[in-house]
Structure 1
Amino acid sequence: MPRAYASGVVPASADAVWSHIRDFDSLPKWHPAITASELTSGTGAEVGAVRKLTLGDGGIVVERLLVLDDPDRSLTYEFLENPFGARRYVATLRVAPVTATGEAFVEWWAEFDADAADEKRLTDFFADGVYGGGIGALREHFAAAG
């Protein structure tokens, strides 16, 4: 089972970053690859909520929120539908404090199944493009705000 992973330091407190990304319907506000999000079930703070994301290329991803953990500043979700060919995809986005600097450490990872020929491409795409792109956008947002 492949595991895609990315992490980075964001120049803001963990609480500020968590507040910015916590709402399950907030991706278009901070992730450059997401042009729209629509909750089709539940609310942005409700486990079991389902969101329909529209990607910049017009692709559609449907995801369900599995865990929303405010004390741990993390959320876990799964793909219900995706155009990538990933199966049994479960991802976690987590924010932790960097105690030495007061900044936030953001990490995002997923485990999924895919055809063997697609595993490396999808692992790189999720780690570098999706997660790395999102963490980079958070870094730029908070650097500009600070």
Structure 2
Amino acid sequence: MPRSYASAVLNAPADEVWAYLRDFGNIADWMPGPETSLIEDGGPADRVGCVRRVIGPGDSVFRERLAGLDDAERSYWYEILEAPLPIRAARGHLRVAPVTGTGQAFVEWWGEFSADAGDEEAMGKTLSRGIYATGLDALAKRFA
């Protein structure tokens, strides 16, 4: 199963970054591209099992289910239920850790997915660079 990965150091304490990112429903507030995001049943955005609907350009839809949230590890993971990409069985992970020497936050975003052999390389780059790295760059600017 291919894995895509991106990381960044943010100029803010890990607890502050995590307090912001643990809201599974706020991705449209910080991620370039999505026009709106909401929790489908209107429930809390940190409830394991909740589904966020992210609407992007051209009315593209991503639906993702929060599969786990761990405040002690400052991480969550989710399953992609629907995406306008040729991927299957996709899972994403986001984790925030302290950089102990500087007081900054180290943020990692990665995912595993299945795709047809002809799509694997392109989808790996799309996820790593087009989604994860782009999102982390936006977070770095937000916490600058």
Q: Same fold (TM over 0.5)?
A: yes
The alignment status of 1:25 with 2:2, answered yes or no, reads no
The alignment status of 1:80 with 2:81, answered yes or no, reads yes
Partner of 2:67: 66
Q: Which amino acid aligns with 1:117?
A: G
Partner of 2:100: 99
The alignment status of 1:40 with 2:40, answered yes or no, reads yes
Partner Cα separation in structure 1 for residue 18 and residue 69 of structure 2:
11
Aligned-residue offset at 1:19: 1.0
Structure-to-structure mapping, 1:11-22, within 5 angstroms: 11-22=11-22
Partner Cα separation in structure 2 for residue 66 and residue 36 of structure 1:
21
Aligned-residue offset at 1:87: 0.3
Tell me if structure 1 keeps the 8 A contact 2:17–2:105: yes
Tell me if structure 1 keeps the 8 A contact 2:26–2:38: no
Aligned-residue offset at 1:17: 0.7
Partner of 1:89: 90
Partner of 1:34, secondary structure, is coil
Cα deviation code 1:43-74 (max 9, x no counterpart):
20100000110113421010100001111000
Tell me if structure 2 keeps the 8 A contact 1:95–1:106: yes
Tell me if structure 1 keeps the 8 A contact 2:48–2:67: yes
Aligned-residue offset at 1:6: 0.3
Aligned-residue offset at 1:21: 1.1
Partner of 1:127, secondary structure, is helix
Cα deviation code 1:16-51 (max 9, x no counterpart):
111111111010111112110121134201000001
Q: Which amino acid aligns with 2:137?
A: G
Aligned-residue offset at 1:129: 1.0
| Equivalences, count | 143
Partner Cα separation in structure 2 for residue 14 and residue 33 of structure 1:
25
Q: What TM-score do you get using the length of structure 1 for normalisation?
A: 0.95
Query: What are the ranges of 5 or more consecutive residues in structure 1 without an aligned counterpart?
Result: none
Runs of 4+ in structure 1 off by over 4 angstroms are none
Partner Cα separation in structure 2 for residue 94 and residue 35 of structure 1:
24
